[in-house]
Amino acid sequence: MPLQDYMQIISVDDHLIEHPRVFADRLPRKFLDAGPRIVEDEQRRHVWHMEDQVFPYIGLNAVAGKTPEEFGMEPLRFDDMIPGCYDPVERVKDMDLDGIQAACCFPSFPGFGGRVFMRAKDPELGLACVRAWNDFSIDEWSASAPDRFVPLALLPLWDLDEAVAELRRVAAKGARTVSFPDSPVPLGLPSFHDDHWGPLWDVLEETGVPVSLHFGSGSFVPGFNFSAAALSPNPPAPGQAPPATSFALYATNLMWSTVDLLFSGQLQKHPGLKFMLSEGGIGWLPYIAERADWVWGRHRYYQPIDFDTRPSELLRKHFWGCYIDDQFGLTNRHAIGVDRICVEIDYPHSDSMWPNSRKVIAESLLDVPDDEAHQIVELNARDVFDFPRS
């Protein structure tokens, strides 16, 4: 059955490019010199500066509007990318072209989980940047079209008290998800196994805000250093893995995140926690559920893991996944749980099918009954993000 007109597509994973005044418009005056600002360098590239650090890619993989034949040239200036990358009004027009009702947009310059702000030498500046980005995301980007954007926020993860306070602040003003590193350990933060995060999980439960775990937000991607090699315009040296290797392995990051959380004991302490696995596909979920149950069944007698609750039950209760193209996952949707599957568009990145996303998603659902297709493209995302039709 084709995708019916009444089904509105909600993408749980898209990206925005911060325009040059995101921080300048919002930071306290004392931070204007050190805070993030766009500089045009000698090669006429637009680059972000923060304190004395330079971040060379404003438009991480912002290739929307290019054909695959044109990929591989990273946009180095704002005029290298289409305006929908950084302008929410233009973005909505691009979403209209693409047949998409609403999108949840991750950051670019700050990293998917905000790790760049952890690198500010002045933690007060880092905190001000997190707040500025959140105010931009909620009050400017999403507020420009409240029925078209699912507001996403970042947290100052290096300071738990401030993270809890910022979560309360953004939840009160409409954030519907927070981006959290898919693996906090490579960032020098406590692991998912650590009770350290308990106060944050408490407030996530209390506010009903789900956590989005985007692959790579914990900075480690198998095969190479994502922030350096993957974005280099130079081809890999002989004997090095081409970026395609990592692109194909995004799921493995989220397999670690999932299994880490399943064996952490935190889901039992925080039964209201909800996790969206962003850009990891879905076809592997039944495998890892069965494997985790097997390990639990064999090793719970002597390891410090919950003796009573099957990991697969925790997975089914606490996790949602999404796909761009995953027929194997859709074929096995009942093993995953039809109410746990969402779609992502990934605009403006190279995995995105824009402006043909609705057509591609419709084709992926040809063999799926209407009620299940509706859940997958729209209703599950509205449910997990508490983002009802207006």
Find the helix or strand (DSSP H, E) in which 150 lies. Answer: strand 149-150
Q: Does 305 bind a copy of itself (CB under 8 A)?
A: yes
Check if the beta carbon of residue 275 is closer than 8 Å to that of residue 198: no
Amino acid at the residue 84: G
For a copy of itself, the binding residues in 37-96 under the rule CB under 8 A are 68-73
Q: Which one, 62 or 129, has the nearer CB to a copy of itself? A: 62
Strand pairing partners for 342? 322
Q: Does 235 bind a copy of itself (CB under 8 A)?
A: yes
- To the nearest whole angstrom, how small is the minimum distance from the Cβ of residue 189 to a copy of itself? 11
What number of other Cβ atoms are within 10 A of residue 371's Cβ? 10
- To the nearest whole angstrom, how small is the minimum distance from the Cβ of residue 389 to a copy of itself? 31
Q: Which of 1, 198, 287, 367 binds a copy of itself (CB under 8 A)?
A: 287
Build a one-symbol-per-residue string for 236-275: x at contacts with a copy of itself by CB under 8 A, - elsewhere: x-xxxxxxxx-xxx-xx--xx--xx-xx------------
- To the nearest whole angstrom, how small is the minimum distance from the Cβ of residue 254 to a copy of itself? 10
- To the nearest whole angstrom, how small is the minimum distance from the Cβ of residue 252 to a copy of itself? 4
Q: Does 356 bind a copy of itself (CB under 8 A)?
A: no
- To the nearest whole angstrom, how small is the minimum distance from the Cβ of residue 363 to a copy of itself? 14
- To the nearest whole angstrom, how small is the minimum distance from the Cβ of residue 157 to a copy of itself? 15
Number of residues forming the site for a copy of itself (CB under 8 A): 68
Contacts of 190 (CB under 8 A, 6+ apart): 184, 196, 197
Q: Does 296 bind a copy of itself (CB under 8 A)?
A: yes
Q: Does 114 bind a copy of itself (CB under 8 A)?
A: no
Cα–Cα distance list, 220 to 36, 74, 145, 181, 359 (Å):
24, 21, 34, 10, 33
Phi, psi torsion values for 111, nearest 5 degrees: 85, 155
Q: Does 25 bind a copy of itself (CB under 8 A)?
A: no
Q: Which one, 279 or 378, has the nearer CB to a copy of itself? A: 279
Q: Which one, 101 or 364, has the nearer CB to a copy of itself? A: 364
Q: Which of 191, 225, 232, 268 binds a copy of itself (CB under 8 A)?
A: 191
Residues in the chain: 390
Place of tokens 């995302």: 381
Check if the beta carbon of residue 329 is closer than 8 Å to that of residue 282: yes
Interface segment toward a copy of itself; rule CB under 8 A; list 21-29, 209-217, 326-334, 378-386:
326-334
Contacts of 232 (CB under 8 A, 6+ apart): none
Amino acid at the residue 303: Q
Phi, psi torsion values for 196, nearest 5 degrees: -40, -45
Q: Which one, 238 or 388, has the nearer CB to a copy of itself? A: 238
Q: Does 194 bind a copy of itself (CB under 8 A)?
A: yes
Q: Which one, 22 or 221, has the nearer CB to a copy of itself? A: 221
What would the DSSP string read from start to end of 60-82? TT--TT--GGGTT----SGGGS-
What are the CB-based long-range contacts (under 8 Å, 24+) for 306-311? 306/265, 306/268, 309/268, 311/259, 311/262, 311/263
Q: Which two tokens stand for residue 250?
A: 């995004």
Q: Which two tokens stand for residue 50?
A: 């923060």
Sites of contact with a copy of itself (CB under 8 A): 68-73, 190-191, 193-196, 222-223, 235-236, 238-245, 247-249, 251-252, 255-256, 259-260, 262-263, 281, 283-284, 286-288, 290-292, 294-305, 311, 324-329, 331-332, 335, 350-351
